[in-house]
Amino acid sequence: MSTATTRSHERSISPVFLAILAVMAVTGWAVWTGFATSPGLAVFLFVTSAWIVSLCLHEYAHARTALHSGDITVGAKGYLTLNPLAYTHAVLSIILPVLFVIMGGIGLPGGAVFIEQGRIRGRWKHSLISLAGPLANVLFAVVCTAPFWLHLLDGVPLPFRFALAFLAFLQVTAALLNLLPVPGLDGYGVVEPWLSYRLKRQIEPYAPYGFFVVIALLFVPAVNGAFFDTIDALMRSLGVPEVYRYCGSELFRFWQETPELCRVG
């Protein structure tokens, strides 16, 4: 389906998104150059704005794939403008994930673009629409970790390395959580078109609670340990030192005392 089925203003990048992008660029520069008197505050603003940008790209990927799969209504809903305020549930898509980063330091999957499923024909298309969002996080993670596994960080200030490592960690956690085949998450959306009608009807009543079940399970020590062991293994395979991610997380919480290990300058 061609994007010609949407009007030009429906595909124009939102000033809200551009403003968030500008905050990311300016604070990233401040972290890189050491311009900020408080590196922690600069890291917080850089990571938070970059995280919101990634959330917008996640939802955009869903919407853009849906557009090319047959749902031409996504343009009129504002989903192609990258405006986070246009999402069906701004709280779930933006506010809650940001709060979880602040409180728990993990990339919580959001999600709220309403796709008109009846306009889309073919199980593969339905699966691809659900997969597109997590793939956006994977791509963002690749971009964030590329300087590590390409060994391009010689001479780069430590605060920026820390911030980049923590941002990559958020993308990896978001992608992994979102790919779980649990009702309410994108992973279930990938497999759901291939399930029998009877099984889907049996699962349907529990779908609104799947997301919260996953969050609750992360508070179980054994599950939490296995999850973060997996994340740490993935981060190491991408060349990101665990101490960098840890220090990025600590600098991000600028309101707390920074451990001696992570102090710079």
Q: State CA 2 to chain mean position distance.
A: 27
Query: What is the pTM for the complete model shown?
Result: 0.89
Dihedral in degrees, nearest 10, Cα atoms 249, 251, 254, 258:
110
- Tokens 């343009």 locate to 75
What percentage of the chain exceeds 90 in pLDDT? 52
Averaged pLDDT score across all residues of the chain: 87
CA dist 193 → 127, 152, 170 (Å): 7, 42, 28
Residue 89 has pLDDT above 70, yes or no: no
Residues 6+ apart with CB under 8 A from 195: 203
Task: Note if 260 is an active site residue.
Answer: no
**Model confidence pLDDT, tens digit, residues 179-236:** 999 988 899 999 999 999 899 899 988 887 888 888 888 889 999 899 989 999 999 9
* Per annotation, catalytic residue among 59, 116, 192, 257: 59
**Model confidence pLDDT, tens digit, residues 40-80:** 899 999 999 999 899 899 989 999 999 999 998 898 888 89
Q: Where do runs of H (alpha helix) occur along the chain?
A: 15-33, 39-69, 90, 96-103, 123-149, 158-178, 186-191, 197-203, 207-217, 221-237, 242-252
Q: Where do runs of H (alpha helix) occur along 34-95?
A: 39-69, 90
Tokens of 137: 């996080």
pLDDT tier for residue 6 given thresholds of 50, 70 and 90: low
Residue-wise DSSP of 5-20: GS-GGGGSPPHHHHHH
Question: What pLDDT shows up at residue 84?
Answer: 84
The DSSP code for 37 is S
> Which segment of 2-11, 66-75, 163-172, 199-208 scores lowest on mean pLDDT?
2-11
Find out whether 141 and 168 touch, Cβ atoms under 8 Å: yes
